[in-house]
Structure 1
Amino acid sequence: MKRILNRIKTLEENPRPPGCEKLTGQEKYSLRQGRYRIVYSIQHNELTVWVVRIGHRKDIYR
């Protein structure tokens, strides 16, 4: 859990870090942290990153 929180914290400085992927047909991005995925969206006009979902890679996109 600590690694996931640290990974989210890094989004403050760089909302599109190396390894992030834009989800097809959506304005959301996915970031890997071990077996887990962090799905988030970027609100450019507000300079905000919203974490939409965190879950195991086998369940996150369902």
Structure 2
Amino acid sequence: MNYKIAFKKSVSRDLKKLGKDQAERILKEIEEKLPEKADTFPPLKGKFTGLRKFRVGNYRVIYAIIEGIAIIHRISQPHRCIKNMANRVR
């Protein structure tokens, strides 16, 4: 299936915290991999059921698939990725 990609507004803050090169690299990986393979990356568990994670280097992209759209919720390093995630998702 070919998924469309959408970003929550809060993701722009995540990208601003990264260097320009790193942000461009992550966005390129998202554009290349998620449209075709969004449903193949591992799902999260517990209170984040329904979300999936996708690794790009040392960063994690957290997203949900809703009606054929992969909605990016967060881009961060793993040790910071889940912190405050509940505020962005629900």
TM-score (norm 2): 0.58
| CA RMSD between the two structures | 1.3
Select 2:42's aligned residue among 12, 15, 21.
Answer: 21
Q: Partners in 2 of 1:7 and 1:29 — Cα distance?
A: 15
Count of matched residue pairs: 58
TM-score when normalising by structure 1: 0.80
Q: How does 1:43-54 map to 2 (within 5 A)?
A: 43=66, 46-54=67-75
Corresponding residue number in structure 2 for 1:7: 29
Higher relative contact order (CA 8 A, sep 6+): 2
Distance 2:52 2:79 in 1: 17
Extract unaligned runs of 5+ from structure 1.
Answer: none
Shift of 1:55: 0.7
Map Cα deviations across residues 12-62 of structure 1 (whole Å, 9 max, x no partner). Answer: 122134xx221013100011111110000001xx21110011111110012
**Equivalent residue in structure 2 for 1:56, among 53, 57, 77:** 77
- Distance (whole Å) between structure 2 residues aligned to residue 7 and residue 37 of structure 1: 11
CA distance in 1, matches of 2:45, 2:72: 17
Runs of 4+ in 1 over 2 A off after TM superposition: none
Q: Which has the higher helix share?
A: 2
- When Rg is computed on C-alpha atoms for both structures, the one with the higher figure is 2
